[in-house]
Amino acid sequence: MEAWVQLSKHMFAFAETMSLRCAVQLGLPDKIYEHGPLTLAELATKLPIESVNMDRFEQTMRYLVHINLFTTTTNHHEETKYELTPMSRLLLSKIHNNKSLATFVMGATDPEELFVSGRLVESLGGSKSCWELQHGVTMSEKMKNDNKWSKVSDAMNGYTLNMIDAVVDGIKRESIIDQSVTTLVDVGGNTGIAAKAILNAFPHLKCTVMDLLDVVENVPKDPQLTLVAGDFLSSIPNGDVLLLKSILHGYDDDVSMTILNNCKKAMHPTRGRLIVVEMVLDMETMPEFSHARLGLAMQMMLIGGKERTKKGWERVIHMAGFTRYKIVPIAAAESIIVIYP
């Protein structure tokens, strides 16, 4: 019986994914946040649906309570009302929570992505990722052509905003940045969210954000940041500290080695340091993140990237000619990997 219970948890995992997506799509967390605890009938009137099928809606809400996205309380009139939980607060839209994970969840639960995962067996037998098998091109090629980048960028910004304080705390705790370094380059820094958070903690730094021309052209000007268009596969602007956050997990070891080599050329030969923020799959600290780490690793594998274990990181760091590095655990699924010249 226990085995059946475990099996059904995995077999019906789609119910979690799709009901979660439905909750975000309907903006349920916002409705409850804006109007206070609501009964099923009250909540139904707030939906962007003309005629709600109350039976299906009730079943969906029952499941969302089951996975703890919402909770219910019953008052003395025997009315059951839905309330937010800490998890649904993460899914409030940006107007109510500037660290909203709603866009990230919409990206991660996209039904198109589920079709991609249907190619897993095929991808195990060849060199192409599930994504390439499904779409015929790599993910970055498709993004460029379909102009989908702004959505991905929005999702990534939410994710980064959500965990960047943990990165800053780790940098402070281990004194990775001190007064001896004065310049920082956020390589593939998108709109500069990580760079800005680090700058707030270390105001003596001069920060540069480097990203592709299309991205840089659309980033609102910010007097605190210097924006530079470039390609990290070719060269990277010089800096004392380089930040590579959520970049290397998008590439295999050979391309990662090219990027790390370019960082090596760009970082100061003595006081330089490279701050890589990525997951270390077999990290013993913060084991509560294991499920997220392994799930994200599967997602990266499907789209053609690669999360790494400690050994995997050591291999690619050594391949790039670095010898000194340290893994710093932080209160997030990711860790900081500081690499010295």
Ligand X SMILES: C[S@@+](CC[C@H](N)C(=O)[O-])C[C@H]1O[C@@H](n2cnc3c(N)ncnc32)[C@H](O)[C@@H]1O
Give the residues lining the site for ligand X (CB under 6 A): 156, 160, 188-190, 193-194, 211-212, 215, 231-233, 245-247
Catalytic-role residue among 249, 268, 291, 318: 249
Least CB distance from residue 130 to ligand X, whole Å? 18
* Integer angstrom CA distances of residue 269 from 182, 211, 265, 274, 324: 14, 23, 8, 11, 13
Q: Which residues pair with 243 in a beta bridge?
A: 186, 275
| Closest residue by beta carbon to ligand X | 188
d(CA 273, CA 171): 12
Residue 156 vs 181, nearer CB to ligand X: 156
Q: How far is CA 7 from CA 3, 60, 253, in A?
A: 6, 22, 35
Residue type, 29: P
DSSP 192: S
249 annotated active-site? yes
Distances in Å between the Cα of 87 and the Cα atoms of 53, 91, 140, 205, 280 are 26, 7, 31, 35, 24
Between 245 and 273, name the residue whose CB sits nearer to ligand X: 245
- Least gap, CB of 319 to ligand X (angstroms): 19
Q: Which is nearer to ligand X, 211 or 240 (CB)?
A: 211
Do the bridges between strand 80-84 and strand 70-74 make them parallel or antiparallel, or are there none, so unpaired?
antiparallel
How many residues are listed for the chain in this entry? 341
Distance CA 187, CA 153 (A): 15
Q: Which is nearer to ligand X, 64 or 161 (CB)?
A: 161
State which residue, 18 or 108, has the beta carbon closest to ligand X: 108
Smallest gap, in angstroms, from Cβ of residue 153 to ligand X? 6
Tell me how far, at minimum, the Cβ of 287 lies from ligand X, in Å: 24
Q: Please, what is the minimum distance in Å from the beta carbon of residue 188 to ligand X?
A: 3
What residues are annotated to the active site? 249
